[in-house]
Amino acid sequence: MNRRTEGQHGRSPSRGRGRDALRTARLLLGLSLRADRSASEQPSVSVRAVRALERVSPGGAYFICGPSGSGKTTHLRRLVRALRVRGETVIGMTSTPPAAACSKRLIDLGRGLSMQRWLTILAHAGLAEAGLFATRLRDLSTGQQRRAAAACTLARAERSRPRTRLSTTSRKVWIVADELTSGLDRSTALSLAAGLARFIAGTRLGTCPLRLLVTTHDGSFAEAIRPEVEVVCRLNAPAAVFTRSQRRRAS
């Protein structure tokens, strides 16, 4: 009789009372069965961050920000590993020019590029002053050497890009800059970040557009870089992943 009653009503009276008691206890504690279930079904921050790479369009940027020790570099390494597994090209940006280039003049570092293209790169790196062109790298200021290193990275990326559409169909080239603004005064850092983003955005119609993956401690630099994806790392909470459209709605 009890089994038949349970089959008719879907649950036994004792089981129903147990569930009601559990539901009451959760409500008193501010918990929800539905919220717990949906949370367990959500992908981790790491998975969402990797998936968000696909949202970066040609000439676009992926931006990671947060204070020191919040996990920016950990996220960056995970993303770089994912890119390499996919067979995409990753070009790391260094904070100093190559040692072999220190004795060379700034104008001579664009080997393999047309003079016009190299001058364009120097302009985007904030080194467009004609008086700097004949200066050897070792004689530049620290800030100028940092910008020269960025220009050399862009030149490497340019040389890695195929010149015809027949040479690639879906190849992606990423420029990766860890702590792009570290050690620079704010004005120089903003100029470098904005120039780098503009140069990369200018490649979006080419045969092999560039993409930018950058980390910095200051989230306000997102205004200069204008990323399509932003990961905000925090010290005492999980990181948050935003797309550009989500940022617009939040603002």
From first to last of its 251 residues, what are the pLDDT tens digits of the chain?
444 444 444 445 555 565 665 555 444 444 444 444 344 455 687 899 999 999 999 999 999 999 999 999 999 999 999 999 999 999 999 888 888 888 999 999 998 899 999 999 999 999 999 999 999 999 999 889 999 999 999 999 988 876 655 444 457 899 999 999 888 899 999 999 999 999 999 998 877 899 999 999 999 999 999 999 999 999 989 999 999 877 655 54
Q: At what angle do helices 142-160 and 115-124 cross, to 10 degrees?
A: 130
Q: What is the pLDDT of residue 162?
A: 67
Per-residue burial over 40-51, b = 16 or more CB atoms within 10 Å of its CB, e = otherwise: eeeeebbeebbe
Q: At what angle do helices 186-201 and 142-160 cross, to 10 degrees?
A: 10
- What end-to-end distance do the CA atoms of the chain give, in Å? 61
Q: What is the pLDDT of residue 101?
A: 86
Cβ(209)–Cβ(168) under 8 Å? no
C-alpha–C-alpha distance, residues 51 and 54, integer Å: 6
Q: What is the pLDDT of residue 207?
A: 72
pTM of structure: 0.77
Q: What is the pLDDT of residue 165?
A: 53
Tell me which architecture the domain covering 45-102+152-250 has in CATH: 3-Layer(aba) Sandwich (3.40)
Q: Where are the domains of the chain?
A: 2-41, 45-102+152-250
